[in-house]
Amino acid sequence: MGANDARRVVGHGSTAELRNSLRDDRLALEQAFLKHNKVARLLGAHSRLIDRYLQRVWRQLLLPPQIALVAVGGYGRGELYPYSDIDLLILLDSEPDGDLQQKLQQLIGMLWDIGMEVGHSIRTIDQCINESADITVQTNLLESRLLTGDAKLFSDLHEAVKRHLDPRQFFLAKLDEQQQRHKRFLDSDFNLEPNLKESPGGLRDLQTITWIARAAGLDTRWAELAQAGIISPSEARLIAKHDTLLKTLRARLHYLAGRREDRLIFEFQTLLAEQMGINASANRRASEHLMQRYYQTKLAVRQFSTIMLQHLHDHLFHETPPQHALNERFRVVGTLLDIRNDKLFEDSPDSIFELILLMQRHPELADLSANTLRALWRARYRVDAAFRKNPLNRSRFMEILSQPKGVVHALRRMNQYGILGRYIPAFGRIVGQMQHDLFHVYTVDEHIMMVVRNLRRFAVPEFAHEFPLCSKLIGEFARPEVLYVAGLFHDIAKGRGGDHSQLGKKDARAFCVKHRLSSDDTDLVEWLVEQHLSLSATAQKQDLSDPEVVAAFAQKIRNDRYLVALYLLTVADVRGTSPKIWNAWKARLIENLYHATRRFLRDGKAANHLDNIRTQAATVLSLYAMAAESYRLLWAQLDDNYFLDHEAQEIAWHTRLLAFKVNTAVPVVKTRLSRAGEGLQVMVYCVDQRGLFARIGDFFARMNYTIVEAKIHTTQHGYALNSFQIMEATHGDMAYRDIMNYIEFELGQQILNAKPISPAGMGRVNRQLRHFPISTEVVINPDGKGMHVLSLVTGDRPGLLARIALILDKHDIVLHRAKINTLGSRAEDVFWISGGSLSQTGKAEALQSSLMEI
C-alpha cells in the first residue's frame, strides 16, 4: 500500500472519518469544560484523548515494535491546551532505513490529515543526549511520557537522561533562561495585552519551578512541594489558586480565538469576563475587573516564584553563605537581607519600612531572603489603620522617598509585596487597573511607577544627556521628594468616576498633612495633582504664538518653583504613558511653553513681540550676508500674524529660500531636518489654490507621514506660505536625504498639476480602537479675534487629516493653523479657521455635522 493509500484508509475508518471523530470528541471536551470549568480535568482529558488517537494510528500503520512514540513538553506532562502543538519524539533504536523513513512520513502526514498539529523529532537515544545540551531539549526530555512502542527503549532513554542531568547546572540554566525571558517581555510586563504564558508572573514561571523540582528529584505538585519544605501549605493553596486561574484563562482564550493564542488581546477580554461571570460596575468595564484580577495574580506568582527558587537553590546547593548581623533585627546572609526572628513583622510591624530603608542604604544587598519574603507576605495585613497612623511609619515612608538611591526599587518592591497598596489604600484600588484611553499602555499603578522612575532618572548624572533641561532643573530643585509624592498621586483617582485630578488632589492633601509636609509643599503637591494635565494640554492644543495664551497659562502658575515642578512632572508623565507617545516634537512644544511662561513670570508680559521677532530674524539673516533690502519685497507681502506665528529661525529660513522668488509661478517645496530633533520641517510656497491643504495632507498620508503641526498663511499678493512639521509614522529604511528630495519634487509636481484630489482610503481601525471605541467630539467656537477654533477628538486612522481638510474645503473654510496631536490611537486636533460664514446661524452646525459623518 502506498503512502497516499495508507493516509486515506486506516484500519476500519478513513482519514475523513478519523478527522471528523477527533473533531467531535474535541468539541465534546469543550462543551463539557464550559459547563464544569475544571481546567485540570480538561487538560488531562484532552491529553488522554490525543493518546488514544495516536496509539490507534500507530497500531494501524504497523510501525516496527523496536521503536517508541513518546510525548514531550506540555503534552508529556499531561497538560495539553485546546490548540497547543502536540510535541512528539519518535525514539529509534538505530538510524532508520528507507522503509522506516517512509513509514514515519506516512505517520506524520496521517496525523496532520486527521487534524493534529504535531511538532516532532526523530532521534536515537544517543542523539537525544547530544541534543540535550540545549536546555529546551533537556527540559522536554525531562517531561517525556511513553505513548506506545518499545517500553525498554523508553526506559533506557529515561535512565540516560537521568545520568546526564546535572540538577545544579539545570537550575542555573533555567534561572538564566527565565531572566532572559523576563527581559524580553519587560516592555510588555504590564502591557494591556499581556502574554499569559511568557510574561513575568505567567505560567512559564510556575513551569520553571516544576521543571527544577523534577530535576531535583522532587514531586511537582504544589502540595507535595509544601511537604518537602519548598513552600508552606498555605502558600501551596494560594499558588494552586493562581495557577488554576492562569490555566483557565489560557484554555478559554484558545477556545474563543479558535487557535493557539496566549495573549489576552482586546478582542477576547470582554468575552472572557462574561464567560467567567464577571460583571461591569458603575465606572469600570467587566474586562477591566477581569484584567485587574489577572494582574494581581501575576504579582503573587512573581512573589511566590522568588521564594520557591531560593528554597530550591538551597535544596540543591547546600551552601552555607557567610552571614553577619546588621542590627538587632536583621542580618545579612550571603548577599541577601534576612530577618533574625521569623515573627519579626507580625510582632513589630514598624520593621517593615525599616527593611525597605535597609535595602536602599545597602546597595550591596541583592534581594531579600526567602524566609524574609515569606514573613513579609504573611504580615502584609499588619499594614492596617494603626500602622498608617503610627508617626514612626509615616516618618520612615518619607525617608524612603528622600533617599539618594533606590526610591523606585523600593516602591516597586512594596507594590509587588502588597505593602504599598495597604499603606496608601487609594493606591491599592488602582493596582492592576487598566486604562482604555488609547494611549496608556500600562496599568495605572505601573504607569505611576514609570512616572516616578522618570523623575528619578532626571536626577541621575549618567542620563543627563537624555533631558538636559530636566536634569538641570531637578538638580536645583529643593526637596525633590515632593515631586515623587505628586507622581504617586497624580493618577491615583483613575476609575472612580468624575475628574480624577480633582478627586486625586484631595487624597494628595490628606497624605501630605498626615506625613507632616510643610504647608508650602502640601499646597504644591495638591496643585500639581490638580494641574498635572494643564501644561501638556496647553502646549499641544493652543496657539503658543498668541501672547494671551501664554498670559492665561501663566496666571495658573504661582511662582517659579511651581512652574519647574509642573514641567518636570509633565515630561515624566507623558513619557510614562507609552514608548510611542513621546517624541521630540512634543518635547519641544512643552519646553517652549515652559520658557515662554518663565519669561512672562519674570517680565510680567509675554515675550516675542512683533518688533523683537523681526529684529531676531534680521540678525540671523545678516549671518548669511543678506541685507534688509534683499528681502524687503518679500516681507512687504507678510502680515503681522505671520511674524507672530513663526520663530525667528523659521522666518530666516523662509526668507533665504523665497527672497528672490516672491512672484514665482513654480511651487517652491523645501525640507530640512526639524530643529526639534526628530522628523522634518517642510515649507510650501505657491500661488494659493483651492484644496491645497487637503492635497498636502493626502500626499503625506500616502507617504505614511503624520503632520504634527501646520502653519497656514496667505500673503498680501495671494500666495500660500505654509509650514509643516511632519513625523514618520513607522520608521522605514529610506535615508532622510532621499525622502527630502522625494518630497520636494513629487509634492511640487502635484501642486503644479493641481489634479482633482482622490484621497487615499481610510485605513483600518486598529484593534484597541475597534473594541474600546471613543466618542467623537467636534467643537467649534469663536476665538474673539475674528477666527473660530475647531477642536476635534476621535479615533485616529491613516488618511483622517486629508479627509478633514476636504470637508473644510467643501464648506469654504480657510485654515490658518493646525495642531495635530496623536496619542496612540486617539487624535486630538485643533484648527484655527475662518470663512464659510461660520458666524451665521446653522453654518457651524453644518460643518460640525459633516465632520461627525467621516
Nearest to 762 by CA among 793, 795, 725: 795
Residue linked to cell 482586546: 266
Tell me the pLDDT band of 735, cut-offs 50, 70 and 90: confident
Of 62-76, 172-186, 682-696, 757-771, minimum mean pLDDT range:
757-771
In the predicted model, what is the mean pLDDT of residues 198-209?
Answer: 94
Yes or no: say if 750 and 666 are a contact pair by the CB < 8 Å rule: no
DSSP structure class, residue 331:
E
Q: Which amino acid is at 237?
A: R
- Cα torsion 246, 252, 255, 257 to 10°: value is -70
pTM of the model: 0.82
In the predicted model, what is the mean pLDDT of residues 465-472?
Answer: 92
Residue linked to cell 498620508: 701
Nearest to 422 by CA among 453, 386, 398: 386
Nearest to 287 by CA among 579, 495, 33, 577: 495
DSSP structure class, residue 548:
H
In the predicted model, what is the mean pLDDT of residues 596-606?
Answer: 83
| SS3 state at 587 | helix
pLDDT at 357: 97
Could you give the CA distance from residue 717 to residue 710 in angstroms, rounded to a whole number? 21
CA 471: distance to chain centroid?
A: 25
Could you give the CA distance from residue 489 to residue 455 in angstroms, rounded to a whole number? 14
Strand duo 336-339 + 367-368: pairing:
parallel
Backbone torsions φ then ψ of 828, nearest 5 degrees: -130, 90
Yes or no: say if 96 and 33 are a contact pair by the CB < 8 Å rule: no
User: Would you tell me the crossing angle of helices 370-378 and 286-317 to the nearest 10 degrees?
Assistant: 140
Give Cα separations from 103 to 90, 396, 708 (angstroms): 12, 72, 63
pLDDT of 712 > 70? The answer is yes
Yes or no: say if 206 and 243 are a contact pair by the CB < 8 Å rule: yes
Residues with Cβ within 8 Å of 168's Cβ and at least 6 positions away in sequence, in order, are 316, 317
- Cα torsion 670, 680, 653, 689 to 10°: value is 50
Tell me the pLDDT band of 222, cut-offs 50, 70 and 90: very high
pLDDT at 414: 94
Residues with Cβ within 8 Å of 524's Cβ and at least 6 positions away in sequence, in order, are 482, 486, 561, 562, 565
Residues 625-667 have pLDDT tens digits of: 999 999 999 999 998 878 877 888 999 999 999 999 999 999 9
In the predicted model, what is the mean pLDDT of residues 141-152?
Answer: 94
